[in-house]
Amino acid sequence: MGLHWMTKYRLFLLVGGFLLVAGVALATPGPLEQARTTVDAVMAILRESNLEKEARREKLSTTIRARFDFSEMSQRILATNWKSASEAQRDSFIRIFSDLLERNYIGRIESYTDEKIDFLKERVQGNRAAVDTVIVTKSAEIPISYRMVQQGSEWMVYDVVIESVSFVNNYRNSYGEILKKEGFDGLLARMTEKLAQLEQGGDPSQP
């Protein structure tokens, strides 16, 4: 008495399905591994000393944009203002903000190229994850947590939390004040101006 062919077939499908799922789970690195790969790549580029300035920017930009979801980040920052903004305003915001944040992030992490970054743990809940890291300098330990959302097999960063200070919350509050006083186009104008200032390479704030 063998199993009915239909039962066998179902069993086959079931086992096959299990193997497939297990295989994919093993093959796809989790959020921590994906974040580590990106941070390591950024560090490696920053340490390359013989790279020309423009080429370096380009490489950094590609690496960061493959791991950061600037659209989700922008929506979170603009919060209720996102709903009232026009399509064109939203697009401009994402474009300028991603440029600004990219520079900001590179500038911050650049100071720590000689330090050790430990990837401590990942916490996954559904399609969201938090990856906790710590930069260990000689005088301090700086906790940095990456908040990520799953999109297909990729985990994308939408917030960076440094010592309990969330990028998204920080920008939501500080940009929110400017939005309140100067409106959406006022904010965009100031962002454009700041970006141009930074791109000229001139640092207007230095004495």
Q: Is 177 in the site for other proteins (CB under 8 A)?
A: yes
Using the rule CB under 8 A, give the single segment among 16-24, 38-46, 63-71, 191-199 that binds other proteins.
191-199
Under rule CB under 8 A, which residues in 130-159 are in contact with other proteins? Answer: 130, 137-140, 147
Residue closer to other proteins, measured from CB, 153 or 197 = 197
Where helices occur in 28-166 by DSSP H, the ranges are 31-47, 53-65, 70-78, 80-84, 87-110
Using the rule CB under 8 A, give the single segment among 12-20, 25-33, 48-56, 162-170 that binds other proteins.
162-170
* Contact code string over 5-34 relative to other proteins, x by CB under 8 A: ------------------------------
The answer to whether 182 and 81 have CB atoms below 8 angstroms apart is no
**Residue that the structure tokens 């969330």 belong to:** 166
Binder of other proteins out of 28, 51, 92, 112 (CB under 8 A):
112
Q: What is the rounded distance in angstroms from the CA atom of residue 164 to the CA atom of residue 97?
A: 22
Region label for 164, one of left (φ > 0), alpha (ψ between -120 and 50) or beta (otherwise): left
Site size with other proteins, rule: CB under 8 A: 43
Residue closer to other proteins, measured from CB, 8 or 121 = 121
**Residue that the structure tokens 């454009």 belong to:** 192
Residue closer to other proteins, measured from CB, 94 or 198 = 198
Q: What is the rounded distance in angstroms from the CA atom of residue 187 to the CA atom of residue 76?
A: 16
The pairing of strands 116-125 and 128-136 is antiparallel
**Residues in contact with 148: Cβ distance below 8 Å, sequence separation at least 6, in sequence order:** 31, 34, 35, 128, 129, 130, 131, 155, 156, 157, 158
Q: How far is the CB of 12 from other proteins (least distance, A)?
A: 37
CA distances 179 to 41, 78, 173, Å, are 35, 9, 10
Q: Is 91 in the site for other proteins (CB under 8 A)?
A: no
Using the rule CB under 8 A, give the single segment among 17-25, 41-49, 84-92, 129-137 that binds other proteins.
129-137
Binding site for other proteins (CB under 8 A): 72, 75-76, 79-80, 100, 103-104, 107-108, 111-112, 123, 125-126, 128-130, 137-140, 147, 161, 163-166, 169-170, 173-175, 177-178, 187, 190-191, 194, 198, 203, 205, 207
